[in-house]
Structure 1
Amino acid sequence: MASSTKEMGPGSREDHLDDAFGDHNWLKITKLPGVLLGKIKKAVVQRDLHATMFKQYSEALPIDAVTRWTAEVEAWEEDSAQPNPFLVTRPNISENAIRKKLLEEDAEALRLGKDPILHEEFSTSTMISAGIDLEDRQREHAAELAGLHTHATDNARAKLLERENILYRKLDGWFKIQQLFLPGVHARRVQLMSTATTKQPHKIPLLLPSTAFQYLDCPLKLLDQEWELRHGQAHDALATIRTHLELRCHLYKIKDRWVRGQGMQTRAMNSIAAVQYKIDMAAARYRAAYNALSALSPRLRKDRDGWRALLRPLQDGDLRHISEDPEGTEGTRTVSWLWMACPSAEDAANAGAKAEDSLQESLRVEWCKARARSHRWREEVQLLLEEMRRVPQFHEWTAQEWERRSDQNFQGREEYLEGARAYALQQASIRRKMKNFCLHVWRYVGVWVTLGETAGSALLEDELAPEPDPDVLPDLDNLSLTDTAPEAAANLAEVASLAPSSIVNAMSIASRSSDALPDLATLPSSSVADTASLALRSSDILPDLATLASSSQDTASVRSRDSDSLPPLV
């Protein structure tokens, strides 16, 4: 539209846009009967489906569990500050939590005077934590160096060299602190570096306790502290991998469905590559933690604790989404072990409960989601019924508004009064016929909603039966869309006495699919349906109600899509 209006003057452009927006609004209003009918048919089917599934799910669970979960979810709906029953709670087993625990132990040792103070800022735990952080920086630097293009600019090389120098200085400072807690480690590092072929910072061995104990006499306290930190690091890395695998799967789905064109494909692949880089870094971090745990386990006699049941060697083939399996079909697909290595399952296994608590939480989350889906479609049906109640009222209100205008005095020549009044009455007639048209299209919605999919499907068994006699059909024009249960039962009593084929042909329900709309052309119709081409199987085809006005006056050809075109009335 912009290309057609850029050459127009201000007044013409405003009129053109006003006509376009008025046409859009008019089409939206005239399509409401078909659109709302299609939505209500889909919503009723989904409402009954999810209500049945939720009922079956609840009946399969213990009554006390369902009662407890119902109270929890209702409490959360009333107050969002309450625990969210849709979330699976897991123990806070992370590297940060372990660091906090070790710092608390250091503080207690300082108060009791148990440990000698070798450095004013670092303790044994903080020294190991800093070493693990430097190990991460070394991996990042190695990845940056490997990703440096052969023809990289001087600016890119300068930035990489700057980060390399910063890493050198950090390593040199940490080596001096490490020497205080592990005497002799510096000499061993110099010996190892003497045979190295490169002096790049990511190649310098850190000799953390998990490695240094092979060459030096390390206190068990240092080994225990690194074990705790590595244990949290491994779980943190697995959580990061799972999160980014979910994100990568989502990005691939978006790209396959929505992305078109070379430019969009390039941007999408760049985003996926950034996520893949984070997955690779987290995988390298986990492998470093696992190797350290494997080295410390025999020395600390941790093999009997069963930590290998959940923390396993990570292969490249394990880095896949829970729904992915490159080698198996849907019938033979397997789930990667990293999706089952959650802290809550580990704690339950250590307690001998076989992860029962974790299973209960998973059942609760699925039950809450099933309940939410059932309520969502029930609410959708209620909202659609309310919209279908308000649309005829809106048409009646606009008709009365046009009738009110017809009684006002015309400010102008007296000979224009009769034409203006005829135009206003014509518009009122159109709106009232639109109201009757909506009521006619939706006349059996109350039956459909009340019967639901299960009972309504019985009406579909005889779709090919001959058309019924219109004289024997019940008068359902006054059937309310919002009847209460007793009223609905009374209204349906007459319907139940008819043969299924009669009701089917009366309602013209072609199929269970929500895309199929009733063929109302076979129903006894008013003058609105007779004069309009009722092609309701496509909601895009609705009668041009402007042609339904009286043809006795020339003003019937006036377009009624813009009510502002009416001459001013008093």
Structure 2
Amino acid sequence: MCCKKCMLTAHTSLPLHLVKEWTGTHWLRKSLKDLGLVIQLGHPSGESCYLPKAPHSDDFVIINGNGIHAVTLRFCGCKFADSHIQQLLRYRLFPASTDKPRTAATFSVMEEFHLLSLESKVSAHHYYSALARRGNNVGLSPPKDRYEQFMHIVREWRHLKMLKRSGRGHHPSGVDMTQEGECAIHCPACPHPGINLPDDWMNVCNDKRWLYALFVAIDANFHLKRRAVSKDAVDPSLSNGWAYFVEELSYKQYLTKHSDTRQEKSLCSSHGAVNDADTKSSVGLAATGTGSICCARHEMKLPRGVGDLQKGERYVNMDYIFFSALKDTTLNRFNVSYDIVCQWSRHLWERMKTLPPSHHFTHVEKQVILFVPKFHLPAHVAECQWKYSFNYIKGAARTDGEAPERGWSTLNAVASSTKEMGPGHRRDTLDDLIGDSNWKKLIGLGESILRKLKEAVPERNEHQEDLLEFERSLEARYGEQLARWRADVEAWEKDMSKPNLFEVKSKSVTQAAVRLQLAQEESDQVESSIHVDISPSVLISTGIDLEEQQRRLRVDAEKHGSHGTEHQKMRLQQRTNSLLRRIETWVSVQMLYMPAVASLRVRGAADPAMAPKPQDLPLLLPSALHRQVPCDGRLEEIEWRLRFGQAHDALEELRQALHSRTYMLRFKDRFLRGQGANTRARNCLRSVDVKVNGAAAKYRAAHNALLELSPLLGKDGWKGTLRRLENNDIRSMTEGTDERSSEGRRRLSWIWIMCGYTEGTSTRTEDDSEDLQDAIRIEWYKTRARTHRWAEEVELLVEEQRRVLKFLHWQSKWWLDRQALMTVDDPALQQGLKAYAIRQATLMEDLAMQFQRMWNDTERYIMLADGHSDGVEMD
């Protein structure tokens, strides 16, 4: 507590503090302005200006961390005084205008808001409201509204920070000569010719060229919408194409010129991104989303690689953004990942010719390899899963292509606030957020690469052991074939225009095919049939069908139970009566072909009160008799063949249902929002789960029948193809046995491996089926591919470590060269330019040293893992 005079003296250097006055009964908030405090710029506080009439402002508003304050501020009016803007900046106040400013924000509050907006994604409106309440939370004397001015300050602050950090303040050509993408943060781990690649990188042998490929991923985000408010003429961007967004004028001109171009429909799965691009609703929206190109391995957005989408994910938008991000590059290989790459790549080079000449890409001289991200791949048709998989193509390492999806999570948090912004403000804000995301990825490369390396080395060794064990087991049975398979896959890796070796070409056995074959065989034996209309194969196949109807009725009866509606109970009773009549008709014919089962039925019907329901009635097919009574061997053979086909049918149904469930889950997570839509999606998923369970039950019934019949008929070798189905086996292609089991480390469920198998034998003979060999060949290819991808991952991570260090050293030298790039007359400014450049150069060197320390034991770790432990010790 002190008097008014002492209070003013104590706050000559703290003019924005909050003070309270004792009224005699309570404390009352008081402003230092009311006490007579004047903020003097250009001179020490309290020192008079040389001019008797120094300009001042009684209604100047300063926004700081303590609130929003109206102050009395006096500018220096001396002859050699700086401009009002310079005086405010030297006092660490950022003005809202360059023309007679009446509002400013402290540097400290701008630094705080900037950091909070990047980390917690707080909006400027919410932050400003919090500051207003901090100064006065009652509303009796609200501060002057300076929200619009605060928004101006925010935009300029972000823009100037970006220019400063990209070195534009050190360039003699000034800000106006900034080139497209020049203010973006580049990925140090990606290849940059002339910066972090060896001098002879273009002359390396073919087996090593994959090391110098650029991995890029393409994707669109429909959360980042923008309403049709304002326009570019009213709200232009301050950095027009200088960072991550493409240059807007050229982009819009190209889109306008090709606005009538129709999108080709998908020839793959029904991809909404392709088929709905022209029909996607854009009512009230200036942008329905955002497309981007990013580094697929390190999740950093590429310069000039982001653009707005006006009407869905149209090729005309994505083409421009893609070629904008890759123009001027001199690399020779590009691994391009896109969730609809199978459709987007069709006629890509023809569409490229419609782009501006600056965006043309000499694809004939370069190698462009196309991929579908791993999570999205199961939603594609089988051909795409063989053709565009990261797991099968040489040089892909352990890249998954899902980098854009992870990157969108950062930007989605600001979707609600950027949705209401004008076009320029929104682009500047997103540029700032993307730049911060790239910076955090950059400084985190040390830990991320080290973590990946620690994971990749043991995985590589484990998969190498698996491959060797697999090949040893194949040598005795498929020695000659194995050598041919190895030569074929090595030739395909050198020339991927050849037919894809991972394609399953054999046809699966189906129950319908077996029925047709049996009918053709029985066509010559019509006269020997006991029944005129029903042959033995029809009898057994009908019995198997009735068995399937019993399973379905049993499931539905358990689902409805005693809580079903009257209508459901009525339909269930009708189905029960119908099934009972069919079974009775079938049993009457069964007695003609299998008279011995009559005694078993008599014993089962001893107590009429305990008669089972139709869905529980035993049909007593040959596999259920266990040779308790005589049975025609021809009927057993027929059932065996039908059950064998039924098992393959059930596996195919199970695979299709699991495939559908994977696609529906992905669609639900990506596109559906709200309780209603998610409830409908869950209902659809439940129906798919019913199909999965039904197909599993059907397979198990067929498998049990095969187990009963095989010893009776002397069948052997089929158990290696049609295995016992455990609950853990029922999983999609992308699922492993646990949460850690991704494609590279997972063990594929045998239901996918056995696709295309037919009946084989237990030992290799000249009569081994081609389908069996084909399935074994493909599984060996996959095992080999997994091993090679992990080995490539280790090699590529070591190369990325080298590239990061090389890039940081180059960046340090680049900043040191900026010291003498521009000469100014003001010695203080010249010293400031030099100090900032040296500081940035030191920062790059410090980062390089930190990464180097983290990676110090990498070489020894790999040598130990490789078994070269002589003289090598690990701390």
TM range (shorter): 0.5 to 0.7
Residues 530, 592 of structure 2: 8 Å contact kept = yes
3-state SS of 1:37 partner: strand
Change (3 A) 1:155 1:46: farther
Determine the structure 2 residue equivalent to 1:281: 694
Secondary structure of the 2:247 match is: helix
Return the alpha-carbon distance in structure 1 between the equivalents of residues 581 and 683 of structure 2. Answer: 33
The 1-side partners of 2:689 and 2:332 are apart by 38
Query: What is the CA distance between 1:213 and its match in structure 2?
Result: 5.5
Spell out the pairing of 1:20-99 with structure 2 (5 A cutoff): 32-33=246-247, 37-38=304-305, 39-40=322-323, 47-49=333-335, 73=497, 87-99=503-515
For residue 325 of structure 1, report the CA deviation from its aligned partner: 4.6
The question of whether the paired residues in 1 share the 8 Å contact of 2:717 and 2:760 is answered with: no
Which of 205, 217, 235 aligns to 2:618? It is: 205
> Secondary structure of 1:147's match?
helix
Please say if 1:311 is aligned against 2:722: yes
Distance 1:188 1:47, change over 3 A: same
Task: Give the deviation of 1:139 after TM superposition.
Answer: 0.5
1:357 is aligned to 2:774: yes
Look up the match of 2:587: 175
Q: What stretches of structure 1 of length at least 5 have no aligned partner?
A: 1-16, 77-83, 369-453, 474-500, 512-570
- The answer on 1:217 being equivalent to 2:630 is yes
What amino acid is aligned across from residue 151 of structure 1 in structure 2?
H
Q: For residue 415 of structure 2, what is the aligned residue in structure 1? A: none
Task: Flag the 1:24–1:174 CA change in 2: closer, same or farther, 3 A.
Answer: farther
After superposition, the C-alpha distances for 1:26-66 in whole angstroms (9 at most, x for unaligned) are 98x97532878224586568943575995659xx9866556
Q: Give me the whole-angstrom Cα distance separating, in 2, the residues matched to 1:461 and 1:211.
A: 77
**Residue 309 of structure 1, CA deviation:** 2.1
C-alpha displacement of 1:210:
1.4
CA distance in 2, matches of 1:214, 1:61: 45
Structure 1 residues 191, 342: CA separation in 2 closer, same or farther (over 3 Å shift)?
same
Q: Taking structure 1 as reference, are residues 61 and 340 closer, same or farther at Cα in structure 2, changes over 3 Å only?
A: closer
Which position in structure 2 is the counterpart of 1:155?
Answer: 567
Looking at secondary structure, tell me which structure has more strand per residue: 2
Q: Could you tell me which amino acid in structure 2 is paired with residue 33 of structure 1?
A: E
Q: 2:514, 2:645 within 8 Å by CA — same for their partners in 1?
A: yes
Say which of 645, 661, 670 aligns to 1:232: 645
- Structure 2 CA distance, aligned partners of 1:472 and 1:279? 69
Provide the aligned length of Structure 1 versus Structure 2.
367
Aligned equivalents of 1:220 and 1:129: distance in 2?
16
Q: Which structure: greater helix fraction?
A: 1
Give secondary structure in 2 for the equivalent of 1:194. coil
Q: Distance in 1 between matches of 2:566 and 2:595?
A: 42
Do the aligned partners of residues 194 and 128 (structure 1) sit closer, same or farther apart at CA in structure 2, a change above 3 Å counting? same
In 2, Cα distance between equivalents of 1:42 and 1:269: 40
Q: How does 1:400-549 map to 2 (within 5 A)?
A: 461-465=809-813, 466=815, 468=817
For residues 132 and 346 of structure 1, the distance between their equivalents in structure 2, rounded to whole angstroms, comes to: 20
Identity of aligned residues (%): 29
* Structure 1 counterpart of 2:549, one-letter code: R
Give the counterpart letter for 2:570 in structure 1: A
Aligned partner (choices 667, 682, 700) of residue 269 of structure 1? 682
The one-letter code sitting in structure 2 at the alignment partner of 1:37 is R
Report the counterpart of residue 101 of structure 1 in structure 2.
Answer: 517
Distance 2:521 2:602 in 1: 33
Conservation of the 8 A alpha-carbon contact between 1:94 and 1:232: yes
More divergent stretch after superposition (263-272 vs 315-324): 315-324
1:321 paired with 2:588, answer no
**How large is the Cα RMSD of the aligned pairs?**
4.9
How far is the alpha carbon of 1:289 from its aligned partner?
Answer: 1.0
Deviation at 1:338? 2.9
CA shift for structure 1 position 468: 3.8
Deviation at 1:238, TM superposition (A): 1.8
* SS of equivalent residue, structure 1 residue 148: helix
Match of 1:449 in 2: none
* Structure 2: segments with no counterpart, 5+ residues: 1-226, 249-291, 293-302, 306-321, 337-366, 370-389, 397-483, 786-801, 823-836, 848-875
CA distance, structure 1, for counterparts of residue 630 and residue 780 of structure 2: 50
Contact 1:248 1:275 in 2 (8 A): yes
User: What is the DSSP-based 3-state SS (H/G/I as helix, E as strand, rest coil) of the residue aligned with 1:250?
Assistant: helix
Q: Deviations over 1:252-286 (max 9, x none)?
A: 34444444433233222212211111111111111
Change (3 A) 1:234 1:366: same
The alpha-carbon distance between structure 1 residues 301 and 154, as it changes in their structure 2 partners (threshold 3 A), is: same
CA, structure 1 residues 239+348, in 2 after alignment: closer, same or farther (shift >3 Å)?
Answer: farther
Q: CA offsets per residue over residues 133-163 of structure 1, 9 Å max, x none? A: 0100011111111011533221111111111
Structure 1 residues 346 and 214, CA gap change in structure 2 (3 angstroms): closer
The answer to whether the 8 Å contact 1:88/1:365 transfers is: no
Structure 1 counterpart SS, 2:560: coil
Which residue is equivalent to 2:707? Answer: 294
Quote the Cα distance in structure 2 between the aligned partners of 1:231 and 1:24: 72
Residue number in structure 1 paired with 2:601:
189
- Residues 249 and 321, structure 1, Cα contact 8 Å, conserved in 2: yes
3-state SS of 1:136 partner: helix
When normalised by structure 2's length, the TM-score is: 0.36
| Structure 2 match to 1:127 | 539
State whether residues 529 and 536 of structure 2, in contact with CA within 8 Å, keep that contact through their aligned partners in structure 1: no
Distance 1:293 1:86, change over 3 A: closer
Shift of 1:472: 9.5
Mapped to 1, the partners of 2:582 and 2:335 lie a distance apart of 62
Question: Would the alpha carbon gap of residues 22 and 367 (structure 1) be closer, same or farther in structure 2, given more than 3 Å must change?
Answer: farther
Deviations 1:221-240 (A, max 9, x none): 00011011111111221222
The structural deviation recorded for 1:322 is 4.2
Cα distance in 2, alignment partners of residues 61 and 37 from structure 1:
44
Instruction: Quote how far apart the aligned CAs of 1:471 are.
Output: 11
Separation in 2 of the partners of 1:140 and 1:357?
35
Q: 1:472 and 1:235, CA in 2 relative to 1: closer, same or farther beyond 3 A?
A: same
Distance 1:55 1:270, change over 3 A: closer
Tell me the alpha carbon deviations over residues 107-135 of structure 1, each in whole angstroms, 9 at most, x when there is no partner. 1334xx5xx23222210011100110010
**Does the CA contact (< 8 Å) of 1:87 and 1:365 recur in 2?**
no
Determine the C-alpha separation between the residues in 1 that align with 2:592 and 2:806.
85
User: Alpha-carbon deviations, 1:330-379, whole Å to 9, x = none?
Assistant: 498644333333343864976457955335446889999xxxxxxxxxxx
Q: Alpha-carbon deviations, 1:268-320, whole Å to 9, x = none?
A: 22122111111111111111111111211222122xx1222232332323322
CA 1:360/1:33 → structure 2, altered by over 3 Å: closer, same or farther?
Answer: farther
Q: Which amino acid aligns with 2:538?
A: T
SS of the counterpart of 1:32?
A: coil
Q: How far apart, CA to CA, are the structure 2 residues paired with 1:72 and 1:462?
A: 37
Once residues 24 and 203 of structure 1 are traced to their aligned partners in structure 2, the CA distance between those partners, rounded to angstroms, is 76
Structure 1 residues 41 and 47 mapped into 2: Cα distance closer, same or farther (>3 Å)?
Answer: farther
Cα distance between partner residues in 2 of 1:121 and 1:285:
27
Q: 1:244 aligns with which of 657, 669, 673?
A: 657
**2:722 is matched by which residue type in structure 1?**
L
Say whether the 8 Å CA contact 2:511–2:645 is kept in structure 1: yes
Name the CA distance, whole Å, in 1 between partners of 2:394 and 2:725. 41
Q: Higher relative CO (CA 8 A, sep ≥ 6), structure 1 or 2?
A: 1
Deviations 1:379-409, CA, capped at 9 Å, x for gaps: xxxxxxxxxxxxxxxxxxxxxxxxxxxxxxx
Q: Which residue of 2 aligns with 1:527?
A: none
